[in-house]
Structure formats: C-alpha cells, structure tokens
Structure 1
Amino acid sequence: MKAACWFRCDLRTADHPALSAACEMGAQDALFVISPRQWSMHDDAPAKLLFWREALKSLAQALAERGIVLRLLKVESWEELPGALVTFCQTHAISALHCNREQGVYERRRDRQAYTELKAQGIDLVGHDGQTLFAPGSLKTGAGDYYRVFTPFSKTAIARLSESAVNVLPSPSLKSPIEADAVQAVVHDIDRFWPAIELENAHQERLLASWPASESEALQRLDTFTTERVEHYHSQRDFPALTGTSTLSPYLAAGLLSPGQCLRAALQANGGEFTSGLPGVRTWINELLWREFYRHLLFGFPHLSMHKPLREQTENVQWRDAPQDYEAWCQGCTGIPVVDAAMRQLLETAWMHNRLRMIVAMFLTKNLLIDWRKGEAFFMRHLIDGDLAANNGGWQWSASTGADAAPYFRVFNPLSQSQKFDPKGLFLRRWLPELSDLDDRSIHDPDSQQRAKLGYPEPIVDLKTSRLRAIAAFENI
C-alpha cells in the first residue's frame, strides 16, 4: 500500500501519529487542503491565515528533508472535498490516507463523508489521535457521561497520565531530500493558491516578526518557557504588562506543537511530578488540561460547534440588541480603560492576554448584556491563535452558559481587575497613550474632567446597575 499524510491543524513533523504511521508505510507524499470559503465560514482571522501560510511553507521544507513532497489540494468548501480526495489519491496511486482526527462536528462530518467515498474506491482513510492527550470520549464519569465539570475531569486525566510515561513520537528520519527547485515550486504554489490576506503589508511583517511561524520556533519557545519562565507562571500569568504566559497558543492552535510535547516539557521541568514540585509548572499543566477539557466537550456535545450554549436553558437569556455598544466594545472605545486597552492589543497584535480575554468577555456578556456569540465570532475573526474549542469554552465560561462556567451572579468588576493585575498602569499606558500621564490610581478610571481634557470617552455603561441587570436577566430564566 502506498500511503500519504493529510495535514490539518497539525503542521509539524514531531509527535505526529498520522505522519509516523504513513512513513512506516514508506510515504513519499503529504497533503494539505486549502479551502478559502470554508475558512471564511469558520471566521478564521487574516492573521491566523497569514501564520498558517508561513507555517505551511516551513513544513514543506521539513518534509522535503525527509523525502516527502507536500502537495496542495484547493477546494472552496468541504462539500467538494470527498470527490477531490478520491481524484488526488488515484492520481498519486495512494491507497491509505492517514490523518489526525479533529473534534468539531463539521470536521467529523467531513471525515465521515470522505471515508465513505474513499472506501468505495478501495482507499483507506485512517484516523489517529494527535491533537489531544487522550482520545476524545475515552475519559468519562462513572456513569459513562462526558464530564461537564473541570476538576473531576482533570483528576481523572492526571490519574491516567500518571500510570505511564508521557512519550512523544520523534520526527521521521531524514532521507534523500527533495530537490530545492521542487520545494520552491511548492512554496510558490502555497502563495499562489492561498486566499488574499486582508492586512496591510507592514502589519503582516510586524505579526510575523512577533510570531515566527515554524516548528523550530515553536520548540524553541517551549524550551525557553519551561526552562526560564515556567517557575514563575503561577505568580505572573495574570499580569498583562509582564511576559508571564507561555506565548505558545498560536503554535498549539496551528499544531506546530502538540499537547504531549508541552506536557512532557512541563514534567521534565518538575521532576516528573503532576501534583507536587514547582507551583508554576503545576499551574501550567492545569491550563493544558483546560485545553484538553474544552476539546473533549466539543467532541461530546456537537451542538457546541453550532453556536449553541452547553447549558440549554441559557438559550432563553434575553440579550440586548445594542449595536452602538457592541461597536464601542469592538473598537476599544467603551470608556473602561482596561477593556479598551485589551481590545486595542487584539486589533494591533492579533493576540490578547488570557486574563484580559476573561475581563472583556464578561464585560460584553454581563455589563453590556450582549450575546456571547457576537464576542466569540469577533475573537475568531481577529485572533492569530483562534481555536474553536478554546474560544468557545472561554466565552461560554464568561457568559455563564457553558461547562463549569462562572456562576451568573459572579461578574468581574473591570476596574478592580485592572487595579489588581496592572497596579502601576503599565499595560494601560502602552495601549492608551492618551492616558499615559495620569497617576497610577486615576489611570484605571479617570474622572470626567480628565476624560474631557484628554479626549477619552465617558463609560458607555454604569458598572453597578449593569451588573444587577445581568443578574436579573439570568434569574428570569
């Protein structure tokens, strides 16, 4: 049998079960599907598409060094894909196509249809679990249900992981490399077939300088974080003015890193311990398991991929139709400094600090009482690390509509959050230069005179009364 690997959200060579299995069968071909209309339907951000385009070029080179040609298949949407895959496999005499499974309902539907049409032509579509630590569906409660609460999920996961070493697959060995001209032809085709990136060239250059898109960069960042910064992760991760987070999310979203590689690096930094040792490492492992939790939820509750809340009764919340408030939130013009600074960070860098994601999400869904789905879509259209499971999980947590979500009566006060996690106003001064000369106290909530003098807007909502309005809206259901 002649095999090939179909790459999706896993643009790496190491710890890649599908690639390893295909290479064991002597694979000389790999496949990536370009589907512009599908990406648009999924709200994939221009910054994300830019990052993936460059990551794919890097992958083409890494595969070429292993004697594998990366081939491109362009379809506008997945409806066209099954037939195109059959033609591709027949053209290249491929009898087994290996891939890592995805958790979204539309991705699973795509794969079922592809499997059926390929099988009818004697071609196998072979799925592997390379995007999660556990096969989705393999961790369930004693009653056989999917976990809806994180803590028991994480305890079960850690117990299972503790039973054996966390191993990662090496990259396939180097073979007679593909000629340089052939590799350049693939890179040229990636540029030629890729949809236009709707960002100014200068912005694209800044993004790629901040987020170099390659597997080697991902591994280097993982090593730097786990050897130099993870020790302080628990105490610094909530402060947006510090480099306290891992900055690995774009690399995980594109699959330039696997969760197994991250977990193994964390354990190496902590003497192999899950529940003792460095608190920074334990906290980061917990975050990796939150990522895992959200992917298992996406698999277990398909309606999450269909713009539905996990807690079905919250479908009856009476969200406000407030386009002016929504637009002010989108543009970072709410008059709440921490919210505006966070949104400006997102618009400029295509990334937002995790603590700020919670603050702005809760402000939109609680203080403005605007449907969480509007915020979820806006994030996906702007984030370089846009990931359906994590983004949906985070928004539903903030909106009190999802699994293990914040209780509806728990509403962050953005001013106290700002004072607690940016006490000197360093982050605010960076993104709100018009407020930079204010003192450390005033910058979090300037008075009316200061706002008028500096041209900064009044708050679009009263935090106290809007909080009560949100609580009432949830109590009414």
Structure 2
Amino acid sequence: MQLIWLRSDLRHVDNTALSAAAERGPTLAVYIISPEQWLMHDDAACKVDFWLRNLGALNERLQQLNIPLLIRTAPTWDQAPAVLLDLCQQHGIQALHTNQEYGINETRRDQAVAQTLEAEGIAFHSYLDQLLFQPGSILTQSGSYFQVFSQFRRICYNRLHMGLPQILAAPEAQAPLNIKSDPIPASVEGFATPDDALRALWPAGEEEALARLERFADEHIHSYKDERDLPAKPGTSQLSAYLAAGVISPRQCLHAALMSNNGEFESGSPGAFTWVTELLWREFYKHILVGYPRVSRHRAFRPETEFMPWRDAPEELAAWKEGRTGFPIIDAAIRQLLQTGWMHNRLRMVVAMFLTKNLLIDWREGERFFMQHLIDGDLAANNGGWQWSSSTGTDSVPYFRIFNPLSQSERFDPDGAFIKHWLPELADLNKKLVHNPASAGGLFGIANYPAPIVNLSQSRERALSAFKNLPSKNMLEVSHG
C-alpha cells in the first residue's frame, strides 16, 4: 500500500508524487487540514476556500481512479508526524509519497514526518514537482545561490535548451479498494467563506485551469509584453491562484508557452518570452527561500536594511489597508484586492512602494496584509515582491528609485478606466483629474473622496534620507567580524 500526501499539488495530471505512488502499488490519498498553522501563516480565507473547492474537484478525479481521499486534521504541523504515522499503521502503508515544499516550516515538518515514519519502517519519498529545477541545482560559479535574477534566468534557459521537463500523464485506474473517501469540509474554522461573487471569479478544478492556460496562449500571450502592465486590460493569464495551489504545474505552463511560440524560447514572440520569464521569477523566489532561510523568518534579505527607521503610523497604515489614501491608483488597487482576492502585478509594486517609501512603513506590515487577502498568496513570491519593492531584498530596486503613484497611474491607466471601475465616486472626472482629484482645487476637493494622506515629494526625500543613513554592508561585517 502506498500513500500520497497532497498539499499544494491539487491535480491528478502531471503530479509527480501521485504518479510515483500509483506505479508502485495500490494507493490511498490524504489531505491534512491545519487551521492553526494556516492562521499563523496568514493564509487568506478566500485561499483556504479555494483549496477546499479544488480538493473537491480533485476528489472526483481520484474516485475515477479508485483512489480514496482521506481527510485528517493536525491543527499545527508539529502534529503531522503522529497523524500520518497513525494513518499508515491503520492501513498497512509501506511508503508515503509527497511533493516538495520550500518554506522553513514546511521543510522542518517534512523532515519530522520522514524521521517518524522511517523509524517505524515506512519509506518517505519526496519529489521535485512545483518547480522546473531542484533548488541547489542552479548555482553561481562559487557554489552559492544566485542573488541576481538575470544571471539565474540565463542558467535556467541554458538548462531548458538542453532538455525540457516532461509532463506526466494521469495514472491508470487501480483496482477498487475497500476504503471509503471522507467527505470534504465546506469550510474550516477560523476562515470565513468568501461571497459568491469572489468565488465565481475563481472556479475550481484542473479543467478550469487548463482552459485559462489555453485561452491565454491562444489570445493574449503574444500581446503579454505590452499589455501585462495595463490593469484595465485582460493582459495577464490569471493563473497565479491555480499555480499556487498546484491545480496546474509550471511544466504545463511552459509547454503551452513554447507551443504558442513554435517551440522557441528567446526568439519568436516577445510576449511568450516575457511570460516564461515570469515563470522563472516564481522559480527564483522559491530558490531564494531555500538558499537564504532568513527570508522565511520575517528577516530582510539585505541585513543592513534591518536598521531602517520604519515609522509607527497606525492611522496611515489603516488608510492604506482600507483604500482611502487619496491616491486613486493605490485605493483602486486595494479595493480590487479586497473584493477579488487578487491584485494586478504592476499595482502590487506601486502599492508596496507607496507603503514602504512614501509612508516609510515596514514592508512586513504590507506582506502580511497581502497574505491575509490574496487567493494566490505564496510565501516566496509575496516576500520576494515586497522585499524587491522596499529595496530590502534580492536584486531589488535601488533605494532611490521610487515609483510616483501619479505618474504610474497616468502611464498604465491613461484613461482612468481601472480607477473608475473600482472607485465609481470618481467616474465623472476627466482623464487628467481622475489620477489626482486633489489637483481640482476647490475648498473640499471631490465629494466622497479623501485628500492625499501624504505629500509625495516630501515623503520621497524622507525615504531617501533614511536609506542614505543606513550602516553600509561593510560596516556591519566589521562590527560582527
């Protein structure tokens, strides 16, 4: 008997651990619900709901393969070893199969499970699945993890030219087992069920994920380079939630991109090349998680930035979280996040830079807020993005490059279509005023819309001064030497 432990790999096609288990013998599947752990990780209620709905869709597929799906609860991950050992002993399991996960807590959990099972003679197998390359296999000449994305990307492309990772077919149906599947809970305590409007934006299941991928590859991938930065256009693939939950694999995405581009990587369609580059950014941040575990511990990647004099400004933080900063592009983006569980990638950068540079509020506040609301919340990508925007991270923007929300707004939402969709109170403004209602003058500005909470040029100077006065990396090394 084999056991597949499902986590962020909620699919039956191209699932490395599932295929490996099914090849070896009769297979059972288990999914562990860990409410306290998920709360500690700031997982969003809409994300937990999305996992459960995808688990339901996967369960239908597994039933066709005669693989029973059992549901177990381990409130925190330190209880997972005992729960899995009990299950293995109950059903005479000889080997557990699972796909690798990469945060520090995930790694420790898996090591503990492996030790517990192996001590009882049960084999533990883990597989590369949610990435194209094993962390530790793409290194600099000195043998360390890359810190600069462009260098990392070059090595990845060289490897992909030498051989593409293949897509695994779904396993064959097995002979029925005399074990009943458990019902999948409709909700988990501590996580509110999102409203129907949000759920309708994110239908569950592999068919939906593959349909999105196909539609994107057919209709949008070639214009991706030009349209991905325009939040009012459907220029992105909308696949991030499905990738984060493992409803689709990066291999499936890579193959679709290459097929749409006649098998080419760097040549051919600039849109396809740009999209594959985004898949590699996802890869890069997961490798960073493994190579530099401190980023899993809420630590800045660049140690000197731990001395940043972040401001304690609860009222400004609340205005940012509630979308009432008085800067329409920021407020519209926050409303999109709160209502849909997703935010356009260009706006994630603009919103993050406004919080960390213009308000000089600690990036960890923003990172946590995003995780609590994102349906595609992923530690590596979210942490990587926040540290990039706040100039504390790997390959991050130089501290003096500070996005101006007004010019970003005018450049990427020139007609104000995105702003007017999310801020209907500004619908009557012309396309110049809609980016900066405060410039309309008048005693009260625009009815129903707040005045800007910060002066952009003064706050920019404040951020530049704070960064300039940080201790240098060399000084830190001397003091710790």
Same fold by TM (over 0.5)? yes
1:116 CA displacement: 0.8
Query: What SS does structure 1 have at the residue aligned with 2:320?
Result: helix
CA distance in 2: counterparts of 1:350 and 1:87, whole angstroms: 36
Contact 2:358–2:456 (8 Å) recurs in 1:
yes
Equivalences for 1:241-256 in 2 at 5 Å? 241-256=232-247
CA distance in 2: counterparts of 1:195 and 1:418, whole angstroms: 39
CA 1:95–1:175 in 2, change beyond 3 Å: closer, same or farther? closer
CA distance in 1: counterparts of 2:97 and 2:443, whole angstroms: 61
Map Cα deviations across residues 344-389 of structure 1 (whole Å, 9 max, x no partner).
1111111100000000000000000000000000000000100000
1:4 CA displacement: 1.3
Aligned AA (2:329): V
Contact 1:57–1:190 (8 Å) recurs in 2:
no
CA distance in 2: counterparts of 1:228 and 1:189, whole angstroms: 36
* Partner of residue 197, structure 1: 191
Structure 1, 447-456 or 457-466: larger mean CA deviation: 447-456
Equivalences for 1:144-163 in 2 at 5 Å? 144-163=143-162
Is 1:388 aligned to 2:393, yes or no?
A: no
Contact 2:267–2:273 (8 Å) recurs in 1:
yes
Contact 1:448–1:458 (8 Å) recurs in 2:
no
1:206 to 194, 197, 221: 197
* Partner of residue 472, structure 1: 465
Contact 1:17–1:130 (8 Å) recurs in 2:
yes
Q: How many residue pairs end up in the alignment?
A: 468
Aligned AA (1:460): I
Contact 1:65–1:177 (8 Å) recurs in 2:
no
2:422 to 424, 427, 431: 431
Contact 2:228–2:235 (8 Å) recurs in 1:
yes
CA distance in 2: counterparts of 1:177 and 1:229, whole angstroms: 43
CA distance in 2: counterparts of 1:240 and 1:285, whole angstroms: 20
1:448 CA displacement: 3.6
* Partner of residue 112, structure 2: 113
Structure 1: runs of 5+ lacking an equivalent: none
Query: What SS does structure 2 have at the residue aligned with 1:373?
Result: helix
Contact 2:44–2:374 (8 Å) recurs in 1:
yes
Equivalences for 1:86-105 in 2 at 5 Å? 86-105=85-104
Map Cα deviations across residues 303-346 of structure 1 (whole Å, 9 max, x no partner).
11100011111101110000000000000000011000000111
Contact 1:17–1:128 (8 Å) recurs in 2:
yes
* Partner of residue 268, structure 1: 259
CA 1:328–1:408 in 2, change beyond 3 Å: closer, same or farther? same
Structure 1, 158-167 or 334-343: larger mean CA deviation: 158-167
* Partner of residue 406, structure 2: 415
1:317 to 295, 308, 325: 308
Contact 1:221–1:248 (8 Å) recurs in 2:
yes
CA distance in 2: counterparts of 1:111 and 1:28, whole angstroms: 20
Query: What SS does structure 1 have at the residue aligned with 2:97?
Result: strand
CA distance in 1: counterparts of 2:47 and 2:17, whole angstroms: 23
Aligned AA (2:51): W
CA distance in 2: counterparts of 1:22 and 1:449, whole angstroms: 69
CA distance in 2: counterparts of 1:81 and 1:450, whole angstroms: 61
Contact 1:64–1:178 (8 Å) recurs in 2:
no
* Partner of residue 60, structure 2: 61
Structure 1, 445-454 or 74-83: larger mean CA deviation: 445-454
TM-score, normalization by structure 2? 0.95
CA distance in 1: counterparts of 2:446 and 2:287, whole angstroms: 51
CA distance in 1: counterparts of 2:175 and 2:98, whole angstroms: 24
* Partner of residue 12, structure 1: 11
Map Cα deviations across residues 410-463 of structure 1 (whole Å, 9 max, x no partner).
000000000000000000100111110000000000124286342211100011
CA distance in 2: counterparts of 1:144 and 1:196, whole angstroms: 44
CA 1:196–1:371 in 2, change beyond 3 Å: closer, same or farther? closer
* Partner of residue 297, structure 2: 306
CA distance in 2: counterparts of 1:89 and 1:9, whole angstroms: 21
Contact 1:29–1:70 (8 Å) recurs in 2:
yes
CA 1:178–1:427 in 2, change beyond 3 Å: closer, same or farther? farther
Aligned AA (1:130): D
CA 1:86–1:177 in 2, change beyond 3 Å: closer, same or farther? closer
CA 1:177–1:256 in 2, change beyond 3 Å: closer, same or farther? farther
CA distance in 2: counterparts of 1:166 and 1:57, whole angstroms: 28
Structure 2: runs of 5+ lacking an equivalent: 471-481
Is 1:378 aligned to 2:369, yes or no?
A: yes
Equivalences for 1:292-303 in 2 at 5 Å? 292-303=283-294
CA distance in 1: counterparts of 2:230 and 2:351, whole angstroms: 15
CA distance in 1: counterparts of 2:267 and 2:100, whole angstroms: 33
Is 1:332 aligned to 2:323, yes or no?
A: yes
What RMSD in Å do the two structures reach over aligned CA positions?
A: 1.5
CA distance in 1: counterparts of 2:21 and 2:27, whole angstroms: 9
1:27 CA displacement: 3.2
1:189 CA displacement: 4.0
CA distance in 1: counterparts of 2:429 and 2:443, whole angstroms: 9
1:173 CA displacement: 2.1
Map Cα deviations across residues 22-45 of structure 1 (whole Å, 9 max, x no partner).
000123301111000000000000
* Partner of residue 473, structure 2: none
1:397 to 350, 371, 388: 388
TM-score, normalization by structure 1? 0.96
* Partner of residue 172, structure 2: 173
